[in-house]
């Protein structure tokens, strides 16, 4: 096909170009991927497989020992930001449950940041716990005042309404 003298080649030449047919007499063996093929060693580069040689051949150096690494442990200095834990529990139970839960979460995160020595996170979480606690307390007091006003108005207007006579 790529040979211009295709018609001139005999059957012997064609048989020499084609591989022999599969034979069940010879067992198929997988090639060993670690064994270097005969011929020139492959050049390093993109797509080339490195050749490491046979085990035990090569450098006569023993294992390379490195000196032990020095580990310095610096103790963490805990910070002392207020966590407002009692205040957030009070606002959660007595004033406004959702905002009290948020204040409680931030106060617990403040405690953890204080213990870890993370001053920036402890300060931010402490301010958020205080803010949510104040908002919850304000909403709780506002609801209490509105409740008292409604109860007083309903009770006083009910006392002055004359009974209906048919």
Give per-residue burial for 41-51: e unless 16+ CB within 10 Å, then b.
eeeeeeeeeee
Number of domains making up the chain:
1
**In terms of residue numbers, what domain contains 152?**
85-160
Within-domain flag for 106: yes
Within-domain flag for 3: no
In this predicted structure, what is the pLDDT of residue 84?
Answer: 95
First to last CA, the chain: 120
Tokens read off for 129? 């716990």
Within-domain flag for 21: no
Within-domain flag for 49: no
In this predicted structure, what is the pLDDT of residue 155?
Answer: 85
Within-domain flag for 131: yes
Query: From first to last of its 166 residues, what are the pLDDT tens digits of the chain?
Result: 555 555 555 555 555 565 556 555 666 677 676 766 665 555 555 555 655 556 655 555 666 677 888 888 888 888 999 999 999 999 999 999 999 999 999 999 999 999 999 999 999 999 999 999 999 999 999 999 999 999 998 888 876 666 677 6
Within-domain flag for 107: yes
Tokens read off for 31? 């090639």
Cα separation, 109 vs 125, in Å, equals 6
Give per-residue burial for 57-71: e unless 16+ CB within 10 Å, then b.
eeeeeeeeeeeeeee
Tokens read off for 36? 């270097």
Nearest of 146, 142, 139, 133 to residue 90 by alpha carbon: 133
In this predicted structure, what is the pLDDT of residue 73?
Answer: 82
In this predicted structure, what is the pLDDT of residue 146?
Answer: 97
CA 52 → CA 15, 42, 123, distances in Å?
Answer: 39, 11, 57
In this predicted structure, what is the pLDDT of residue 97?
Answer: 94
In this predicted structure, what is the pLDDT of residue 82?
Answer: 95
CA 77 to the chain's CA centroid: 27
Within-domain flag for 89: yes
Within-domain flag for 147: yes
């Amino acid at each position: 096909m790529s040979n211009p003298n295709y018609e001139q080649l005999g059957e012997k030449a064609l048989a020499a170009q084609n591989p022999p047919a599969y034979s069940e007499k010879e067992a198929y063996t997988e090639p060993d991927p670690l064994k270097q093929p005969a011929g020139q060693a492959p050049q390093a580069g993109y797509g080339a497989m490195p050749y490491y040689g046979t085990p035990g051949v090569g450098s006569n150096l023993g294992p390379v020992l490195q000196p032990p690494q020095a580990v310095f442990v610096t103790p963490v200095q805990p910070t002392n930001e207020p966590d407002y834990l009692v205040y957030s529990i009070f606002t959660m139970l007595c004033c406004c449950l959702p905002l009290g839960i948020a204040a409680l979460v931030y106060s617990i995160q403040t405690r953890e940041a204080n213990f870890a020595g993370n001053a920036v996170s402890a300060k931010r979480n402490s301010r958020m716990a205080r803010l949510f606690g104040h908002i919850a307390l304000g909403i709780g007091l506002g609801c209490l005042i509105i409740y008292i006003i409604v109860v007083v108005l309903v009770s006083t207007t009910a006392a002055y309404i004359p009974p209906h006579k048919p």
